[in-house]
Amino acid sequence: MNSDISIIINQHLEQDGTIVFRADSFNRLKGFEFNVNSPLVDSLLTIPRISFEDGKVHINIPPFNIAKNIRFPEDTYKVTIHIQPIFFNLSKGLGLRAQPYYIDLEKTTALTEECTFSYNFPPGSVCIIGLSLVFISNQLAFNNKNFNPAGIVWARYKEGIADDENDGGWYNTGFKIDV
């Protein structure tokens, strides 16, 4: 992933040394797989709909048939979908791990219910949304080093100047660039 970030930064580096991002500058991160041995797209066949409006990122998971849209490994009977938005204020070198959203599903359930949730999207920030699946077998997590489907399902930059005030929870990332 570091090489993808380097490419994004170099792609937006101007002649005068400034970096100018656009809303779609981080699109290349969408579809990034954290574990090439168990791609998320092989286990989850429906991906959340994600939109940006009114200063918020909205995540919508439409109702779907579990048996048709989640491929359960043998001997597993439950799965937790873990959705984790993370925001990065690149000019200040800050990050914010937003409240994660968990959806627990059983293999025998036919349809899921639609769910929608939203997060504030601060100006001058990048939002990256990761999604992982944790399968359960015999009341223990089935996932391991070789099987851990997780990836990036959305990435976007919100243009604007970052506020000096923040809602708290931001941490120092040690990575700061002038944008």
Q: What is the mean predicted confidence (pLDDT) over 66-71?
A: 95
Q: Which fold does the domain 22-162 belong to in CATH?
A: Immunoglobulin-like (2.60.40)
* CA 119/CA 101 separation, integer angstroms: 11
Q: What is the pLDDT of residue 179?
A: 67
* CA 132/CA 43 separation, integer angstroms: 10
Split at pLDDT 50, 70, 90, the class of 2 is low
How far is residue 106 CA from its own chain's centroid? 23
Q: What is the pLDDT of residue 49?
A: 96
102-155 residue pLDDT tens: 999 999 999 899 999 999 999 999 999 999 999 999 889 999 999 999 999 999
* CA 37/CA 8 separation, integer angstroms: 25
Split at pLDDT 50, 70, 90, the class of 80 is very high
Q: What is the pLDDT of residue 36?
A: 92
Split at pLDDT 50, 70, 90, the class of 166 is low
Any idea which residue has 């981080």 for tokens?
A: 26
Q: Percent of the chain having pLDDT more than 70? A: 96
Q: Enter the tokens of residue 131.
A: 């999604």
Mean pLDDT (the chain, rounded): 91
Which pTM was predicted? 0.90
Spans of all domains in the chain? 22-162
Q: What is the pLDDT of residue 18?
A: 81
